[in-house]
Amino acid sequence: TGQSVLSVQDLVFSRDGQRIVGPLSFEVTGPERIALAGPNGSGKSTVFDLVTGRLQPDSGTVSGRHERFALLDQAVSFLEPDLSVAANARRLNPQLSENTVRSALARYAFRAEAAEKPVSVLSGGERMRAGLACLACAAEAPQLLILDEPTNHIDLEAVELLEQALAGYDGAILVASHDARFLDAIGVTRTITLEAPGTV
């Protein structure tokens, strides 16, 4: 609490002569919950890629991204689709006992047979919940959770389960979502609005 989890200063990123992001500056201080807003194509996913180091900016700095963070994109791509939920949890947390992993998964409604389902057969909501469950197994939870449109393509029941899961997370959250009710439910207190891309 009160510590800077992420600091973005004068971040600029361009592609094919068009400025996609920036200049953008903001800071996330744990356990803040911040929404990234803007029209489609305004660069929200690009900002996440810059923050996590997937992309390098033209100019500006990102500090804090090498601290503990987790990105949950819409596909929850850190999960191996051919492995079960339980196998993914063990792969990501090899130091934990089987009982500890099973207990963590059960808190996210992956009990017994449900924990043995391959990730590839899960619905969008189940996959998002599985990702959170695997992160929750970790001995040290991420300090910053980055969520890219987490409620897209999932039904209301799945959204409510996701809200409940996030209610138990006490780190910072940076989230892109058009779902105002969801943002309110998870306690977002500040919004950073991106502008549409412009010509460099």
Question: pTM for the complete prediction?
Answer: 0.82
- The fold of the 1-68+142-200 domain, in CATH, is Rossmann fold (3.40.50)
For residue 161, give both structure tokens: 């389960």
Boundaries of every domain in the chain: 1-68+142-200, 77-141
| pLDDT score at 199 | 44
- Identify residue 43 by its one-letter amino acid code: G
Q: Digits of tens for pLDDT over the chain (200 positions)?
A: 678 888 999 999 998 888 888 899 999 987 899 999 887 778 888 898 898 888 899 999 998 755 578 888 878 888 999 999 999 999 988 888 888 888 888 888 888 899 999 999 998 888 888 888 888 777 777 888 899 888 877 778 778 878 887 877 788 899 998 888 899 999 998 999 887 665 44
User: 15 and 26 in contact (C-beta within 8 Å)?
Assistant: no
118-124 own/partner pairs: CB under 8 Å, 24+ apart: 118/81, 118/82, 118/83, 118/84, 119/76, 119/79, 119/80, 119/81, 119/82, 119/83, 119/84, 119/85, 119/88, 120/81, 120/82, 122/85, 123/154, 123/158, 124/74, 124/152, 124/153, 124/154, 124/158
